[in-house]
Amino acid sequence: MSETIFISENSSKTEKYEQLIPQLYYLLSPSDDLIANLANCSAALKEVFNFWWVGFYLVKNQKLILGPFQGPVACTSIDYGKGVCGTCWQKAESIIVPNVDEFPGHIACSSASKSEIVVPIIKNNKVVAVLDIDSEHLTHFDNIDNVNLTKLSLFLSDLF
């Protein structure tokens, strides 16, 4: 198992994802603890892309509960249908928010966060968690992020 992530210098965003995701397939394993896997996943995404905040909210007792993350402290619990994360859970689909100030009900954990992407992790047709990534830049996320993070979330669902 490799415990170091290697990304070629001057890689584009697509190339970074193309290099990172196969390494996560090796680094993360269903035989390891879920929290340990999600912690390494959030650390790897933060290291490679230097996102402002990257982490997981896990569905527990009809709420989203803060899981492993990298970045500033964040809210610990989000209700179904609330904020970007709770809406992602409700719709069971990715949400890209180019400007968080324009998303009704956005939950501001950090005033530095300007844009956001939230991707559901779906197991047996149920959302079991969401992957939430925040940027301090407006319109930071696009379909390249969505396609690659969705691919990653399909793999992550096997860890639950």
Give the residues lining the site for ligand SME (CB under 6 A).
53, 74-75, 78, 83-85, 106-107, 109, 113, 116, 132, 134
Q: Which amino acid is at 95?
A: I
Residue whose CB is less far from ligand SME, 134 or 145: 134
Q: Return d(Cα 113, Cα 156) in angstroms, integer.
A: 25
CB 78 within 8 A of CB 59: no
Least distance from ligand SME to the Cβ atom of residue 65, Å:
12
Residue whose CB is less far from ligand SME, 34 or 84: 84
* SS3 state at 88: helix
Residue whose CB is less far from ligand SME, 27 or 85: 85
Least distance from ligand SME to the Cβ atom of residue 63, Å:
12
Distances (CA, A) of 136 to 53, 54, 92, 96, 100: 9, 12, 25, 14, 10
Least distance from ligand SME to the Cβ atom of residue 25, Å:
26
Residue whose CB is less far from ligand SME, 5 or 107: 107
Q: Which residue is nearest to ligand SME (CB)?
A: 83
Least distance from ligand SME to the Cβ atom of residue 8, Å:
30
Three-state SS annotation for 143-159: HHHHHHHHHHHHHHHCC
